Structure 1
Amino acid sequence: MTRTPVDPNSVPAELRPYLQELVHRTRAVCGTHLVSVIAVGSVALGDYRHGRSDIDVTVVVDGALPGAAPPELAAVLAHPALPCPAAGLELVVYGADFAARPSGEAGYLLDLNTGPSLPGKVSFDPAESPAFWYVLDRSVAHRAGRVLYGRPAAEVIAEPARADVLSAVRASVREHSAGEGHLADNRVLNGCRSVQFCRTGRWQAKRRAAKAVAAAEEPFRALVNAALRSYERPSRGDAAALPTTDVRAFLAWVAERVDETAERCRTR
């Protein structure tokens, strides 16, 4: 079993000390019940932007984990008890039995959001949260998760069924279409990633997906390129305003592409 990050160079230099301490504290709380700690999101997809990106981490534990462990873990990992160098930490803990089977449910033991630019959240009840975020994260984890400790991601986290993933993608587009709590540039880039997943069946980094959509879709090229330029700015507070009508029209187009893909999936 891997006791330290597989390759220190596999995660951005700005995050290495933080992630090493996160693993250390997680091991201290979970002990022998810890199965894996896995980086997902932008770190896994090779597109982490310091000052803009969150750190997404998935933890898998065995079924004998004491009930007191998730609250204790939330306490020792919460910012500023463990100062987060990124915009925020989004950490989800799953039981090994749940993580090992395909599911369209949230299914977590702990959902922790914390950090200097992220609204705080501590939840121990998966019924409190929309399932789609967790379905998408587990799909990324299965395909591209970077192991920080323990067994390989694909061995401990099952790929959700394609119909469940597409349903989650559609829910994500719906969430971003509403716009509440999301920066305009991220709404556009998330839409690009959704389209590219439908077209290729693979998860891509947001900026890579956006460049592909900009190259292929002339009507949306100016908007996508503006979103890319905004995303390159140093922090979330520097994000540019994008035309609301254009963003909504783009996301409506994205929703149609997702619905078409889901329909093809159903009729096969």
Structure 2
Amino acid sequence: MSRPSLPPPELRARLKELVRRTCAVCGDRLVSVVAVGSLALGDYRHGRSDIDVTVVVDPVPPRADLASLAATLTHPALPCPAAGLELVVYAADFTACPSGRAGYLLDLDTGPSLPARASHDPADASAFWYVIDRSVAHQAGLPLHGAPAREVIAAPDRPTVLAALRASVREHADGGGHLADNRVLNGCRATVHCRTGHWFARHRAGEIVAASEPAFRPLITDSLRSFERPREEAAALPADDIRAFLAWAAARVEEAATAAGT
């Protein structure tokens, strides 16, 4: 799938306003605003996908400014047209170096389908989410404002990414708070990254694994079909089949880690 050069039409006005409000709060400190996640990988699905945005600043704004940024971007102060907005603010000196830490200044979750959250303490969160997002940003970040992602966000090294994938697969195997189809397709994305070293959209990763692994093809096909629906209409999938698949995906991550000497 080719990488997008622009956000989807239904998001452009909101993203433009997000950038405007971020500029108004951060001023000259704002280095870059980058779309990551499904927007960067060309697989945004309205009603299903979140808007994932990474913001890089230099120097670090006062805590009061970060709180003001969260307030002005929180739904419905800025209505979110997607299922949710996940926005992370980093200092430029942190993103300039590879890291396995969460490391954020602000982590904002908001929107019609997301529990509201605004954290200023990286100890509040599991680091693997942020490692994966920064890796995706370096590979495929969609620029919304300022410097390109590759110039300001260093790629985590392979052992760090594999450790993040190990944690991600374990999280989805536990199942709490995750849709069944997303648990399966996250395992597919982890598997394909272990094989290729590149990030693929979940949907495309599912197609790749379904084609190569006949034993799991029915489960993945059902997951892909469910993934086309809004979150509220996601299908229930067999719990035992999901556990078996994610155990298989975890073994693929361990194989990759062993090959990498980690």
Shorter chain as denominator, the TM-score bin is over 0.9
Aligned pair partner of 2:240 in 234, 240, 245: 245
Aligned pair partner of 2:20 in 21, 24, 27: 24
Taking a change above 3 Å as real, the CA distance of residues 214 and 76 of structure 1, as seen in their structure-2 partners, is same
- Tell me the TM-score normalised to structure 1 length: 0.95
Runs (5+) with no aligned partner, structure 2: none
Q: Which amino acid in structure 2 is aligned with residue 251 of structure 1?
A: L
What's the offset of the Cα at 1:63? Answer: 1.9
Partner of 1:184: 180
Runs (5+) with no aligned partner, structure 1: 1-7
Partner of 1:59: 55
- Partner deviation per Cα, 1:90-149 (whole Å, 9 max, x = no partner): 000000000100000000000000000011111000011110000000000011001100
Distance 2:163 2:189 in 1: 15
Q: State the SS of the aligned residue for 1:266.
A: coil
Q: State the SS of the aligned residue for 2:132.
A: helix
Distance 1:66 1:33 in 2: 11
Partner of 1:254: 249
Q: Which amino acid in structure 2 is aligned with residue 102 of structure 1?
A: P
Overall identity of the aligned pairs, in %: 67
Distance 1:199 1:222 in 2: 22
Q: State the SS of the aligned residue for 2:32.
A: strand
1:141 equivalent in alignment to 2:134: no
1:99 equivalent in alignment to 2:95: yes
1:76 equivalent in alignment to 2:80: no
What's the offset of the Cα at 1:179? Answer: 0.4
CA RMSD of aligned residues (A): 1.0
Give the number of aligned pairs.
Answer: 259
Q: Which amino acid in structure 2 is aligned with residue 246 of structure 1?
A: D
Q: Which amino acid in structure 1 is aligned with residue 172 of structure 2?
A: H
What's the offset of the Cα at 1:64? Answer: 4.4
Partner of 1:38: 34
Distance 2:168 2:140 in 1: 19
Q: Which amino acid in structure 1 is aligned with residue 53 of structure 2?
A: V
Q: Is the 8 A contact 2:95 2:152 kept in 1?
A: yes
Distance 2:171 2:115 in 1: 17
What's the offset of the Cα at 1:173? Answer: 0.4
Distance 2:61 2:179 in 1: 37
Partner of 1:201: 197
Counterparts of residues 211-222 of structure 1 (less than 5 Å): 211-222=207-218
Partner of 1:156: 152
Distance 1:248 1:232 in 2: 22
Distance 1:18 1:250 in 2: 38
Distance 1:265 1:70 in 2: 39
1:229 equivalent in alignment to 2:225: yes
Distance 1:192 1:64 in 2: 37
- Tell me the TM-score normalised to structure 2 length: 0.97
Distance 2:60 2:132 in 1: 26
Counterparts of residues 115-134 of structure 1 (less than 5 Å): 115-134=111-130
Taking a change above 3 Å as real, the CA distance of residues 64 and 119 of structure 1, as seen in their structure-2 partners, is closer
Q: Which amino acid in structure 1 is aligned with residue 251 of structure 2?
A: E
Distance 1:138 1:236 in 2: 25
Q: Is the 8 A contact 2:5 2:142 kept in 1?
A: no
